[in-house]
């Protein structure tokens, strides 16, 4: 409403300026649509080629439509176990990282203490380190500790490490925005710190915790570089794709890629819709 009022109150622009503004406005919109088309182009290729019926091992040229790749999604040796490992790691890593990250976020937003600055830097540093350095340094640590065998646990440890910072940022953003008085009221009414946390704080930051779980899960299941350095002989789904790419990736890779994409998209769409509902309810 206010925007309209402001615009009506302004002196009339000349016809030429109006036309120019009109063109400019739609040029930007058209450009943006082209940009989204560009973003979606490789995704469309991935999805389309999941229905390809390749004659040889190579899935580069369109040969014909088939549903077989979807029906026999685990028809390639090793692909099922790779996907299962990726899902396990992503599930456990996102839970651990979100728990640790939520605690750090609570400490940073709720308390004044010595070492806040250092903590913030330590959270920020892994985000601004190239993945290859993260992977390589963790590899040298494990190489120098003779009791470590590379495998599930080294992958898990690495994934939790690079997820923590994302968890902290996600939960912190929500904590900063909410009303402390609710917690103070609970305390005034005789609730102790733990009860206040469980009954007041936790429900309020639940959306951020869910967002953090989803984000960590997505980052973990997509990670290649750090995993590649620390997996030993274990194969996660991205490592499987890497190995398959050298000889020509089978169409089943596209099937799983499409499936992960669809699940993530539906979850994120649901999130956007819930926010819309909430905004409408609030308005």
Touching other proteins, residues 90-119 (CB under 8 A): 100-101, 103-104, 106-107, 110-111, 113, 119
Total residues at the site for other proteins (CB under 8 A)?
88
* One residue of 182, 184, 276, 278 binding other proteins per CB under 8 A: 276
Q: Residue 65 gets which letter from DSSP?
A: B
* One residue of 133, 182, 185, 202 binding other proteins per CB under 8 A: 133
* Token pair in block for residue 87: 């899902």
- Shortest separation between residue 274's beta carbon and other proteins, angstroms: 10
Q: Is the distance from CB of 94 to CB of 163 less than 8 angstroms?
A: yes
Q: Which is nearer to other proteins, 174 or 238 (CB)?
A: 238
- Shortest separation between residue 235's beta carbon and other proteins, angstroms: 13
The Cα angle at residue 181 between residues 179 and 185, in degrees rounded to 5: 140
* One residue of 23, 84, 129, 277 binding other proteins per CB under 8 A: 129
Q: Is the distance from CB of 200 to CB of 186 less than 8 angstroms?
A: yes
* One residue of 87, 95, 136, 200 binding other proteins per CB under 8 A: 136
Give the integer Cα–Cα distance in Å for 159 and 94.
8
Q: Is the distance from CB of 219 to CB of 101 less than 8 angstroms?
A: no
If you search the block for the tokens 């203490």, which residue do you land on? 113
Give the integer Cα–Cα distance in Å for 36 and 167.
28
Cβ neighbours of 184 (radius 10 Å): 12
- Shortest separation between residue 179's beta carbon and other proteins, angstroms: 20
Q: Which is nearer to other proteins, 95 or 161 (CB)?
A: 161
Show contacts with other proteins in window 196-255 (CB under 8 A): 218, 221-222, 224-225, 228-229, 237-238, 241-242, 245, 249, 253-254
Query: Which region, judged by CB under 8 A, interacts with other proteins, from 65-73, 176-184, 191-199, 200-208?
Result: 191-199
Residues in the chain: 283
**Contacting residues for 280 by C-beta, under 8 A, at least 6 apart:** none
* Interface characters, 14-53, with other proteins (x: CB under 8 A): -------x--xx--xx-xx--xx-xxxxxx-xx--x----
Q: Is residue 176 a contact point for other proteins (CB under 8 A)? A: no
Give the integer Cα–Cα distance in Å for 4 and 64.
54
- Shortest separation between residue 54's beta carbon and other proteins, angstroms: 12
E strand or H helix that includes residue 275: helix 251-282
Q: Is residue 173 a contact point for other proteins (CB under 8 A)? A: no
Q: Is residue 81 a contact point for other proteins (CB under 8 A)? A: no
* One residue of 22, 57, 60, 149 binding other proteins per CB under 8 A: 60
Q: Which residues is 52 bridged to in the sheet?
A: 65
* One residue of 82, 85, 90, 138 binding other proteins per CB under 8 A: 138
Give the integer Cα–Cα distance in Å for 102 and 171.
6
């Amino acid at each position: 409403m206010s925007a309209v009022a402001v615009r009506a109150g302004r002196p009339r622009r000349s016809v030429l300026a109006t036309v120019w503004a009109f063109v400019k406005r739609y040029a930007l919109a058209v450009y943006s649509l082209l940009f989204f088309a560009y973003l979606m182009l490789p995704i469309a290729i991935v999805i389309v080629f999941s229905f390809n019926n390749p004659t040889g091992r190579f899935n580069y040229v369109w040969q014909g439509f088939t549903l077989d790749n979807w029906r026999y999604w685990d028809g390639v040796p090793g692909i099922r176990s790779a996907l299962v490992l990726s899902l396990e790691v992503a599930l456990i890593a996102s839970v651990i990282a979100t728990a640790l990250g939520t605690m750090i976020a609570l400490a940073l937003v709720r308390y004044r203490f010595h070492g806040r600055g250092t903590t913030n830097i330590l959270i920020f540093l892994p985000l601004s380190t190239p993945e290859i350095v993260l992977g390589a340094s963790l590899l040298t640590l494990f190489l120098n500790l003779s009791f470590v065998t590379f495998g599930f646990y080294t992958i898990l440890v690495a994934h939790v490490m690079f997820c923590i910072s994302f968890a902290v940022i996600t939960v912190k953003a929500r904590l900063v925005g909410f009303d402390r008085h609710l917690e103070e009221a609970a305390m005034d009414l005789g609730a102790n710190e733990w009860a206040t946390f469980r009954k007041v704080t936790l429900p309020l930051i639940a959306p951020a915790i869910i967002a953090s779980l989803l984000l960590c899960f997505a980052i973990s299941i997509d990670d290649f570089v750090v995993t590649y350095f620390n997996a030993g002989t274990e194969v996660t789904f991205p490592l499987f794709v890497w190995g398959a790419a050298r000889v020509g990736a089978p169409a089943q890779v596209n099937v799983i890629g499409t499936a992960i994409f669809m699940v993530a998209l539906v979850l994120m769409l649901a999130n956007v819709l819930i926010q819309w509902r909430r905004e409408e309810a609030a308005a």
